[in-house]
Structure 1
């Protein structure tokens, strides 16, 4: 196996275990995908996805499935791929330059905010850092129809944090750690908003302050090491619990 594919498999498998540890799993559903570099794919757009039927705690470097943007398995896999995961992730990997990693969750807080007509409020520390980074896509049902892909891309623009209305949260990044940093901030913003709404109306943050928060934040900035440092600390926590994901 090419060393670049091995590294991608181990990083992605670690991320599945991180999601499990954080409680971001959803039975056997939802997906995190990573596009393979050209050194591995020969220039064809290919990505790794979790095997359908396994829980995140069962994902390993070896059982991740390598597929192309048409949903065809590259090589061999004993596991199928969930069409609902493939359609969304393939559209983004294929159509959005720089989308190395794509993540999607159905957390209670994320779905709660996705079901609000007003969506995410600019009223807390995390939503302020996401100023100008959040897009919305209207619910079209279960995401198994390829024709939704172009509409999703149009809704997203270049926004790395996406609220799928009535559905859940999505993020993408130029690296896996960056996509995770974006999703973590979005998830925290939703959690705080739900807690605030349980007590009363959120106190809004003005546009200028929110814009400054976004500009000042190192949360999503790969150049300053923030996303990578966060990811590596989470990997260390996972490894203290179970490092079987490294199995190849």
Structure 2
């Protein structure tokens, strides 16, 4: 008799699998996916330094809790899976997880708006309420080509530092969170920031920037806005949305 993935993992890991699979579905629903490329990873609870990542080749709206692949820090499979993983795709994620033990989830996208802003010399501009959340905790990492060389890791770690947001120049966006929900909410703000910036610039007129004094109070404003819950404040509503869409991410 075949043992299911759910029977091989703890209840805590299964809940993480459901949340990460939901995140993949939400990224697809929001239109942030890039065919089968980019990744969202999550650290499995426990001392083993194991991680969950997407089976390479599946669309984000196909991913389920069972299909997520558990790997070690070198992206070697811990639980056998018929699906391949992409070690090169784990270079960025592995570097972040290695340096940031406060981070459970790393979310990386290649959206048109994100890449467009990452290509601008000025980067993220303080011209929207959304941008104030991003600028309060933003790092920038210069483009070094397709990220498959491990030696880029230390530079990426230094550029991210203790921040929540990382602008990957000429490449895209990255967010981290203490939970899957936190990383998703951060990316929602990051993506909105970029879309608004491009829309504002398309008007051709001068832009009004947020006063620096307001930027300094952003972290507290975000805490108040979510009742101190961060991503957990909106996560149940997002899961209900997936249920209404008929998602089978929990399988």
- Asked if these proteins are the same fold (TM beyond 0.5), I'd say yes
**Distance in 2, Cα, partners of 1:171 & 1:107:** 13
Number of the residue aligned with 2:5: none
Q: TM-score, normalised by structure 2?
A: 0.92
- Written as runs of structure 1 = structure 2, the 5 A alignment for 1:67-216 is 67-199=71-203, 200-216=205-221
Matched, 1:20 2:28: yes
Matched, 1:35 2:43: yes
Matched, 1:3 2:7: no
Q: What are the superposed Cα offsets for residues 28-47 of structure 1, whole Å, 9 maximum, x if unpaired?
A: 01111110000xxxx11111
Q: What are the superposed Cα offsets for residues 97-137 of structure 1, whole Å, 9 maximum, x if unpaired?
A: 21110000011111110010110001111111223301100
Number of the residue aligned with 1:227: 231
Pick from 58, 61, 64: which aligns with 1:60? Answer: 64
**Distance in 1, Cα, partners of 2:95 & 2:185:** 22
Cα distance change, pair 29–235 in 1 and its aligned pair in 2 (3 A):
same
Q: TM-score, normalised by structure 1?
A: 0.93
Q: What are the superposed Cα offsets for residues 9-52 of structure 1, whole Å, 9 maximum, x if unpaired?
A: 111111111111111111001111110000xxxx1111100000
Deviation of 1:158 after TM superposition, in Å, equals 0.5
What secondary structure is seen at the aligned counterpart in 1 of 2:238?
helix
**Distance in 2, Cα, partners of 1:220 & 1:3:** 31
User: Which ranges of structure 1 fall in alignment gaps of 5 or more residues?
Assistant: none
Pick from 47, 50, 54: which aligns with 1:50? Answer: 54
Cα distance change, pair 219–131 in 1 and its aligned pair in 2 (3 A):
farther
Number of the residue aligned with 1:246: 250
Deviation of 1:229 after TM superposition, in Å, equals 2.3
What secondary structure is seen at the aligned counterpart in 2 of 1:163?
strand
Pick from 217, 223, 229: which aligns with 2:222? Answer: 217
**Distance in 1, Cα, partners of 2:181 & 2:198:** 26
Give the 4+ runs in structure 1 shifted more than 4 A: none
Deviation of 1:220 after TM superposition, in Å, equals 8.6
Query: Does 158-167 or 212-221 show the bigger shift?
Result: 212-221
**Distance in 1, Cα, partners of 2:224 & 2:207:** 23
